[in-house]
Structure 1
Amino acid sequence: MTENHLIDLREVTKTYGSGPAVLAGIGLRVRAGEALAVLGPSGSGKSTLLNLIAGLDRPSRGSVTVGGVRVDGLTETASAKYRRSRIGMVFQFFNLLDDLTVLDNVLLPAQLAGVPRTEAAARAAELLAHLGIDRHARAFPGRLSGGERQRVAVARALMNRPPLLLADEPTGALDTASGADVRDLLRELNADGQTIVLVTHDLALAEACATRTIELVDGRIARDVAAVRR
């Protein structure tokens, strides 16, 4: 891993079948502590890029290295372990389990990783309190607002202390007030040192949270600029 670069993509191309390249020779390095916003029109390769970093997909050509790990060369078992230990993921529609309480949703990644229950419970309590949702620990997700559910999703993503948080349209399903709440949360997390890569169509989110912005057009990086936070 290049010094201080948490993510290192080199000449990454992704094609599906005989179709055109979804990503075409992407080179991208992200330093630890950055908050990178990935912008671009639908079909530009944003979600594909996120999936490659998460090890959910593999490049057709090129290499994907995260935290010194060649993600593109991992077996399925090793890829799952990589995501459990190194990646936190937040989705547009929360992906919470409605039949589990807020606390049990947050505990799930630790249980999958084999963390002792007492240690996991202490970590979950810390996260719920820090994110302002500890009063909802015994509630079920369906009883929460969209913004509260996304906070639960962030707590779950951070449960195993991953060095990298990936967020795919994290405000896309939220009303204006809840979206602003999540923007503030992501900004605070990055200020505390969390590395974040977020895919979004929300320019306000990118402007508020990102320290750097790239724009994908037709599978290539058309723009790469340091952001000026408001």
Structure 2
Amino acid sequence: MLGRSGSGKSTLLNLVAGLDRPSRGSVQVGGVAVHALSETALAGFRRERIGMVFQFFNLLDDLNVLDNVLLPAQLAGMGREKARTQATGLLDRLGVARHARTYPGLPSGGERQRVAVARALMNRPPLLLADEPTGALDSTSAADVRALLTSLNAEGQTVLLVTHDTALAAACATRTIELVDGRLHSDVRNAPLAVAR
């Protein structure tokens, strides 16, 4: 999803995740009437169906990288061994396994965003929400995260990415929806993406 700052992109993501409620109308995600869920049901919906990646990582500074990634599994009640195996596999796959025992302040910005993606994928959510995931990164790290999101999408992961960066949208979107002042401006299906190797 593409749009300038203030166009409503983050608000729409928050509605999809059930973090905000619509003032009118409804929000349906994967057949679930998100707008009608109780707070407890919304927490369960997010835990089971949504992974979230933010611009500024939102990693917990007092937990090491591995424990940050394990947190969603612990909240979901996943068994300890299964969770650890899955978390270490994700960190390895995303190229940040060497940081498993370090704290979030030590890895680079791009590496911290990869940790955030691992955490978001921990419970294998059907939908990954990414709010300006390259906005705080240098160009090299941004290219790495862009390639990662493109690769995940090519493997079948649904990714709803919001950005104001037209180059990012062009590089990794199979569909581009543009918002202007909180309204749908355009909806374009793009050619299938080539996966960066």
TM over 0.5: yes
The question of 1:149 aligning with 2:112 is answered yes
The Cα RMSD (Å) is 1.0
Counterpart residue type for residue 205 of structure 1: L
Structure 1 gaps of 5+ residues are 1-37
Counterpart residue type for residue 68 of structure 2: N
The question of 1:115 aligning with 2:115 is answered no
Secondary structure in 1 matching 2:26: strand
The question of 1:185 aligning with 2:156 is answered no
The question of 1:220 aligning with 2:183 is answered yes
Q: Which has the higher helix share?
A: 2
Q: Larger deviation: 63-72 or 180-189? A: 63-72
Q: Which whole-Å CA distance do the structure 1 matches of 2:38 and 2:180 have between them?
A: 31
Counterpart residue type for residue 57 of structure 1: D
Deviation, 1:60, is 1.4
Q: Which whole-Å CA distance do the structure 2 matches of 1:202 and 1:219 have between them?
A: 17
Q: Which whole-Å CA distance do the structure 2 matches of 1:42 and 1:94 have between them?
A: 19
Count of paired positions: 193
Q: Which has the higher strand share?
A: 1
Deviation, 1:136, is 1.1
Counterpart residue type for residue 135 of structure 1: R
Equivalent of residue 210 in structure 1, options 173, 176, 197: 173
Q: Which whole-Å CA distance do the structure 1 matches of 2:5 and 2:140 have between them?
A: 25
Cross-structure match for 2:65: 102
Equivalent of residue 140 in structure 1, options 60, 79, 103: 103
The question of 1:128 aligning with 2:91 is answered yes
- What per-residue deviation string (whole Å, max 9, x for no partner) do you get for residues 144-168 of structure 1? 0000000000000000000000000
Counterpart residue type for residue 99 of structure 1: D
The question of 1:194 aligning with 2:142 is answered no
Secondary structure in 2 matching 1:112: helix
Q: Larger deviation: 202-211 or 150-159? A: 202-211
Deviation, 1:125, is 1.3
Q: Which whole-Å CA distance do the structure 2 matches of 1:136 and 1:93 have between them?
A: 18
Q: Which whole-Å CA distance do the structure 2 matches of 1:219 and 1:208 have between them?
A: 24
Equivalent of residue 87 in structure 1, options 50, 55, 72: 50
Q: Which whole-Å CA distance do the structure 2 matches of 1:89 and 1:154 have between them?
A: 8
Structure 2 gaps of 5+ residues are none
Deviation, 1:178, is 0.5
Q: Which whole-Å CA distance do the structure 2 matches of 1:203 and 1:218 have between them?
A: 17
Q: Which whole-Å CA distance do the structure 2 matches of 1:97 and 1:106 have between them?
A: 10
The question of 1:52 aligning with 2:15 is answered yes
Q: Which whole-Å CA distance do the structure 1 matches of 2:68 and 2:91 have between them?
A: 11
Deviation, 1:184, is 0.4
Q: Which whole-Å CA distance do the structure 2 matches of 1:221 and 1:124 have between them?
A: 38
Cross-structure match for 1:172: 135
Q: TM-score of the superposition, structure 1-length normalised?
A: 0.82
- What per-residue deviation string (whole Å, max 9, x for no partner) do you get for residues 30-72 of structure 1? xxxxxxxx11122211111100000001111111111221100
Counterpart residue type for residue 44 of structure 1: S
Q: Which whole-Å CA distance do the structure 2 matches of 1:51 and 1:177 have between them?
A: 28
Q: Which whole-Å CA distance do the structure 1 matches of 2:46 and 2:186 have between them?
A: 28
Cross-structure match for 1:74: 37
